[in-house]
Amino acid sequence: MTPTEPASATVDTAAPPVTVPTPAATPRTEVSSLTLEGLTRFLTEQLGERAFRAGQLYRWIHQRGATSFDEMTDLSKALREKLKVRAEIVPLVKDAEQRSVDGTIKYRWKTRDGRYIESVYMPSEDRKTLCVSTQVGCAMACTFCMTGTLGLKRNLTPGEIVAQVHAVNREVRRNEGLETLRPLSNLVFMGMGEPLHNFENLKTALSILQSEDGPNFSHRHITVSTVGLVPMIERFGQETDVKLAISLNASTDEQRSKTMPVNRKWNIAALLDACRKFPLRQGRRITFEYVLLRDFNDSDEDAARLIKLLEGIPAKVNLIPYNENPGLGFQTTMDERAERFRELLCAGHVAAFIRQNRGRDIAGACGQLANRGGESPSETPQSPELP
């Protein structure tokens, strides 16, 4: 007797389903972070376009401040569609704006990953200056500075650094009824972050900002401030041509190490040695920023020590009355003491000026940039990864 299959049994002869992996999307290139040379390579090598298209795209982004490819009406629609797929112009969204009684405007920008940075516009009769940020937060942890309480979140890309300039140019054109594409005249890299801690991105941003096909800022109108990353000061002098400012703020290592942890790695002697070796254009001086803290670094003895420290360095000193921050434990020097300090420096043949604080009433002055927009400070701030 031939056995038979049970009636309920079935034989599945179909092949198992084949799962085809979905190819990962090609990451878009942040074209607003590219120099003209880099943009030319991208367009010719990656998109198969002719080189002259790079100049058109570059001028749209960095002269006109375009934020979308649809604005670029002299590019073909086919190229604009291709750029939408393969490229991006990094966005900064204005999240808040505060206006000071002195005309200063503080802008808070939201980045694409939900972080917040600030930049400060300071107009005056003869110039329009923007204070630019280079990092989200800061790793330097200076004890008198609010930004230092955030810790370092991340570096800004070259495109995010430059986007602050483009965005404020747009704001100034609209607010002041100006037609010029670049109403800003001066840039100071004294906002959130340590610029030389983000050196490669800073250098690229400077190249874009100084380019003839871009904003075309003069080297005479750009100043970069550092807390004193000594190895990077040498590179900065060799690889850029803009002005250098040193955030000194003390006349002794004991003082400086208490308020600026970077001094424990590179003390005042090492910092000033780097300044003496710094290549300066004829007639140019290094600016030394000195935040005056009451009964801490503002005595006659401090002034005498500072004169001695700066011997042999083409220098000028910007004395900055401290902008008080809640919870940081420092007080500002009285006006009479600040003027006395300035007079002592001048008597010692050191050019010294008291900086006019701008935007203090909107927490937009030196050392006050830390508007988190909902962010919390790092529970354990990142330690500086110094060169």
CA–CA distance, 271 with 248 (Å, rounded to integer): 9
Residue 169 is assigned to a ligand binding site: no
Residue 186 is assigned to a ligand binding site: no
Q: Which residues are catalytic?
A: 118, 366
Q: Which residue has the tokens 């010294």?
A: 352
Residue 289 is assigned to a ligand binding site: no
Please tell me what DSSP assigns to residue 20: P
Q: Give the closest residue to 298 by CA, choosing from 261, 259, 243.
A: 259
Residue 299 is assigned to a ligand binding site: no
Please tell me what DSSP assigns to residue 157: P
Which burial class, exposed, middle or buried, applies to 262 when counting CB atoms under 10 A from its CB (0-12, 13-18, 19+)? buried
Residue 142 is assigned to a ligand binding site: yes
- What tokens appear for 269 in the block? 């002697």
- What tokens appear for 58 in the block? 């570059």
CA–CA distance, 83 with 233 (Å, rounded to integer): 38
CA–CA distance, 365 with 100 (Å, rounded to integer): 10
- What tokens appear for 237 in the block? 């002098």
Please tell me what DSSP assigns to residue 25: P
Residue 193 is assigned to a ligand binding site: yes
- Helix/strand/coil (H, E, C) string of 193-233? CCHHHHHHHHHHHHHHHHCCCCCCCCHHHEEEEECCCHHHH
Q: Are 43 and 195 in contact (CB under 8 A)?
A: no
CA–CA distance, 75 with 247 (Å, rounded to integer): 45
- Which residues make up each annotated binding site for S-adenosyl-L-methionine? 193-194, 225, 247-249, 323
Binding-site residues for [4Fe-4S] cluster, please?
A: 138, 142, 145
- Give the annotated binding-site residues: 138, 142, 145, 193-194, 225, 247-249, 323
